[in-house]
Amino acid sequence: MNLGIAGRRALVCAASRGLGRACAEALAAEGVSLTIVARRSEALETAAAELRTRYGVEVQTVACDITTAEGRELALKACAKPDILVNNAGGPPPGDFRNWSREDWIAALDANMLAPIEMIKATIDPMMDNGFGRIVNITSAAVKAPIQALGLSNGARAGLTGFVAGLARQVVHRNVTINNLLPGPFETDRLHSNFEAAAERSGKSIEEVREERMKTNPAGRFGNPEEFGEACAFFCSVRAGYITGQNLVLDGGSYPGTL
């Protein structure tokens, strides 16, 4: 299938590794030029060089923290009018809600709710003027089925999801869509650090925690980031213009609901 987005420009946040990187890869494979953002410039430059070599597309880099106003300003200075925006940032830490202060909540809201909303606010009007725009937010399967230790994530991401549900219906008449991708367990550094934390809490080895988690997944495995990136590229394609305000769970069938 030709996704019809060759020559478009995408701004992909938190993209030096993991799921953001996989989205950047899948878009580059379709001939999309990229501006990729991550905090550490060394990892970012390595990712950019690999993307350029592999796909022959233009790749700009912006080393910044996308959850800060200064970071967003830098990213938007480099790519003021993207055709495609992929919102992503690291997730909040696990813990017990009794230990979370107001500051912990504000940090989670800043990273996983307000930062993507600010990025949407800054880019959506030019998309509407152009008659084409695709926005994908990387959230979490925890939006549909809360993960007990990740209360900060459950709460902050639910806020973003509610906002997007309303906005998506106000912009689709100009061929601008906004959808959310909800990852279950994918093989990334983030998943590995979650296993480390779970192993420490339970006294089990990381490998035991990993095996147990894998067994509980109906697919019997974790997701490959490439599978995630390809779903993102489809949502960003011209083919997906009639899909908006949706929450696609990618979890190997873990979510047990019929709908």
* Residue 88 or 171 having the CB closest to ligand NAD: 88
Angle at Cα 184 formed by Cα 171 and Cα 59, nearest 5°?
A: 60
Q: What are phi and psi of 194, to 5 degrees?
A: -65, -40
Interactions with ligand NAD, residue window 182-201 (CB under 6 A):
183, 185-186, 188-191
Stretch that binds ligand NAD, among 26-34, 53-61, 77-85, 133-141 (CB under 6 A): 133-141
For the chain, give percent helix, strand, coil, nearest 5.
Answer: 55, 15, 30
Residue 166, C-beta contacts closer than 8 angstroms, at least 6 positions apart: none
**Site membership for ligand NAD, residue 61 (CB under 6 A):** no
| Residues in 1-20 at the binding interface with ligand NAD, rule: CB under 6 A | 14-20
Instruction: Retrieve residue 228's tokens.
Output: 């995630």
Q: Is 63 in the site for ligand NAD (CB under 6 A)?
A: no
Q: For residues 18-47, b (16+ Cβ closer than 10 Å) or e, as one string?
A: bbbbbbbbbbbbbebbbbbbbbeeeebbeb
Q: Confirm or reject binding of residue 108 to ligand NAD (CB under 6 A).
A: no
Subset of 220-259 contacting ligand NAD (CB under 6 A)? none
Q: Compare residues 141 and 172 and give the one whose CB is closer to ligand NAD.
A: 141
Q: Nearest distance from residue 196's CB to ligand NAD, in Å? A: 12
91 sits near ligand NAD (criterion: CB under 6 A):
yes
Q: 13 to 52, contacts with ligand NAD by CB under 6 A?
A: 14-20, 37-40
- Minimum CB–partner distance for residue 245 and ligand NAD (Å): 20
- The sign of the dihedral angle between the CA atoms of 21, 92, 73, 248 is positive
Looking at the Cβ atoms of 44 and 57, the one nearer to ligand NAD is 44
Residue 118 and residue 162 in contact, taking contact as beta carbons nearer than 8 Å: no
How many residues interact with ligand NAD (rule CB under 6 A)? 28
Shortest Cβ distance from residue 213 to ligand NAD (Å)?
Answer: 10
Q: What angle do CA 157, 24, 117 make, to 5 degrees?
A: 30
Binding footprint of ligand NAD on the chain (CB under 6 A):
14-20, 37-40, 65-67, 88-91, 138, 140-141, 183, 185-186, 188-191
